[in-house]
Amino acid sequence: MTIPRQDRTKGKCDEWWLYTLLAIIGETLDESGRAVCGAVVSIRKNQDKIALWINTTEKEEAIKIGQRWKSALQINKTSIKFQSHTDAIKSDSSFNNKVFYEV
């Protein structure tokens, strides 16, 4: 999930990171409790990013996790994009990779 600079000044990155961690700890993002592997926040000059790491590329499961994540963050307008870890490794970047799914 990419967070525009103007939302950073409103404290949204900190808030959404906290809610992400609470959702992971509370195991509310996936039914099995095994799909979510971790999360990371990246603070950049122009935009921030919160990434949720999941161990599946199956569309239905990824979309369900994305919908639950958006619900935990209480967001509607911001989109969450899923991409494969393999693509990120190949390009050595997580910002310009092919998007598999968008919630």
Per-residue pLDDT tens for 43-93?
888 888 898 888 887 888 888 999 999 999 998 877 787 776 666 667 665
Structure tokens at 9: 């000044």
Alpha-carbon distance 45 to 95, whole Å?
A: 13
Q: Is the CA virtual torsion 9, 43, 5, 66 positive or negative?
A: negative
On whether the CB atoms of residues 13 and 7 are closer than 8 A, the answer is yes
pTM, two decimals, is 0.79
- Domains belonging to the chain, first-starting first, are 2-102 (3.30.760.10)
Structure tokens at 91: 């390009």
Per-residue pLDDT tens for 1-52?
888 877 777 888 899 999 999 999 998 998 887 889 899 999 888 888 898 8
